[in-house]
Chains A and B, each alone.
Chain A
Amino acid sequence: MVGLSEGEKHFIRGGIAQGIRTDGRRRLQFRALSVETGVIPQANGSARVRLGATEIIASVKAELGKPNILHPDKGKVSIFVDCSPTAEPTFEGRGSEELSTELSVALQRCLLGGKSGAGAAIDLSSLIIVEGKVCWDLYIDGLVVSSDGNLLDALAAAIKVALSNTGIPKVNVSLSAASDEEPEVDVSNEEFLQFDTSSVPVIVTLTKVGQHYIVDATSEEESQMSSAVSVSVNRNGQVCGLTKRGGAGLDPSVIFDMISVAKHVSQQFIAHLDSKISAAEAAAE
């Protein structure tokens, strides 16, 4: 955790009040974003996203599995987040457990929809191979390599990039005579199907410091926050999830205001991220 003197805290708060933060950014400006794809060769899709000094690696691994009996027409997706001790000494051992769980739950809420998989950002029915028998299990892992605030936004962005980098092998099912037998599947090594990631939302966290709120807070700025609202917004400007952190209460009108700001900011962020993804894909080829 960052220790700041009273003078520095005062300086940070003053900067946010005056609209020029310690690194010269305006209140609603993100740090420099850099995107790399295909960083883990063994995974089906992977990405490294840097947002200032925050660095995230996300990977997607697909495995063949059996669908849930209650939802035979849907595949399964799970999201795990791990915070590396290289990011902060306090993450050593079990120190990061609480934060990791908090982040994975928030991401699951935003990306996976309800228990039935309704409203999920990833089309779960596209993961099905044989209804009720075989489906793809997607394991999405996020690793916080270096932490300088705004982990949730960076994780969501990294997962979005990793999914767009993911290729699911094409599967040929040999139709067996009896329907109750296990179908034989033949996983192709050459043909891959790309994911449609256009509906995957991004998360924009608005951190309230003093009277104002900012996006993409550094860990120093986060130490001064009273509360933070994370809004996940998809390409169509629809809000997919909402979480609030921090003890201080917020007036409902402020929250509405924050949501409309988050919606506006997220559209720019999605466009920026998309251009970064296509640039990274072009560089990888």
Chain B
Amino acid sequence: MRDLHLSLNQTQRVRLEAALHELQSLAPAAASAAAVTVADTIPVNQEDNILKGHGTSDQDGEVVATLCGVVERVNKLVYVRTLRARYKPEVGDIIVGRIIEIAPKRWRLEINFSQDAVLMLSSMNLPDGIQRRRTAVDELNMRSIFEENDVICAEVRGFQHDGSLHLQARSEKYGKLERGQLLTVPPYLVKRRKQHFHNLAQYDVDLILGCNGFIWVGQHVVVGEKTKTTEDQQKSSADAENFTPLETRKHICRLANAVRVLSALGFTLTVELIIETAEASVTSNVEVNNMLGAEFYVQTAEREAKRRADLLRKKNGGR
């Protein structure tokens, strides 16, 4: 709860503590046993000579954690996965990143990894959609595709043998993101799922949950019209009044604030939970600008505690 600096009154504090306590008690015992802090002993079976991985150390014949996190075991390997660490990419992850540099034939992106990611000109579809060799002219026109500071989404292609991370954007759905806002949350809050692009048609909003903890909330863009909107934008910057419709903007801000509240409380971000939180703010008549107030945090924590309790009850009942 490091990010939580709320000015709660007495009743709110009691309610929040009760909700957080309930959440703690609902967590399965195995999960709380796997959480370690620095200098905690990690229980291992000494006979099946284990391999000590990242974040572990040998101390008087015992395996001791040198980091705070969750103990992971893969066959013989025992390591500690830290929670508040940088993003660790896996091949196929969908990520959102920001261009920081244009280099020969490639863009460099900031994706909250320990190094910058690389997107090669050759590993993305050209705007005209024709498959062909990239010419020198294309290389000179790279800035017309992505500029510095642009926010784009792409997919992790893999690591090169020199250790650098390569991305690809070989589909219509990848590319530049405009008309919206970028939020950053700790990467462990975004779990890998089948679907990371969400078109919330009821709100006319696109929600992209990047595996690297970058979350995009923006106005819905029809796939294939991306290039057209860029032209529109250039035109509109002249008259400058072609803004996002007010109704859509309210939805964007509501969803963005739902993400902010959930990530500050440390709840895993799923599209269902984000929508549910945004809907709850509508039904309980919380204005968009009051969503970051203490009362809504407490309500959200209580709702999540109730939801998990119901889930557990259902599971136990089914057994």
- Which residues of A pack against B, CB within 8 Å? 3-8, 10-11, 13-15, 17-18, 20-26, 29, 31-35, 50, 276, 279
Contact = CB atoms under 8 A, between A and B. Distances in A.
B249 A6 contact: no
B7 A15 contact: no
22 contacts: A3-B98, A3-B100, A5-B98, A5-B147, A5-B149, A5-B150, A5-B176, A7-B180, A8-B151, A8-B178, A10-B243, A13-B240, A14-B249, A17-B243, A20-B249, A20-B288, A20-B289, A22-B253, A24-B257, A24-B288, A34-B5, A35-B7
A10 B249 contact: no
Nearest to B292: A32
A4 B289 CA distance: 23
B179 A11 contact: yes
Given A17-B243, A26-B289, A7 B256 contact: no
Nearest to B244: A14
Contact of B292 (A6, A14, A18, A23): A23
Nearest to B181: A22
A34 B240 CA distance: 37
Interface string B289-309: 101111000000000000000
A29 B290 CA distance: 11
Contacts of B233: 6-7, 10
Tell me whether chain A's interface is mostly helix, strand or loop, or mixed. Answer: mixed
B181 A11 contact: yes
A3 B253 contact: no
A7 B289 contact: no
B5 A50 contact: yes
A7 B178 contact: yes
A276 B180 contact: no
Given A14-B243, A34-B6, A50-B5, A7 B253 contact: no
Contacts of B149: 3-5
A29 B150 CA distance: 29
B265 interface: no
B220 to A, nearest CB: 14
B243 A25 contact: no
Given A7-B179, A32-B294, 8 more contacts: A5-B151, A7-B178, A8-B181, A8-B182, A11-B244, A20-B253, A22-B256, A32-B6
The 4 closest A-B pairs by CB, nearest first: A7-B178, A14-B243, A24-B288, A3-B149
B250 interface: yes
B153 interface: no
Contacts of B260: 23
Contacts of A50: 5
B285 interface: no
B223 to A, nearest CB: 16
A31 to B, nearest CB: 8
B187 to A, nearest CB: 19
A20 B247 CA distance: 10
Contacts of A4: 149
Contacts of A25: 289
Nearest to A220: B181
A25 B244 CA distance: 16
Contacts of B138: none
Nearest to A26: B289
A18 B243 CA distance: 9
A31 B289 CA distance: 9
A78 to B, nearest CB: 30
B246 A20 contact: yes
A33 to B, nearest CB: 7
Nearest to A14: B243
A10 B5 contact: no
A32 B244 contact: no
A31 B260 CA distance: 14
Given A3-B100, A7-B177, A23-B260, A29 B289 contact: yes
B237 interface: yes
Nearest to A52: B292
B148 interface: yes
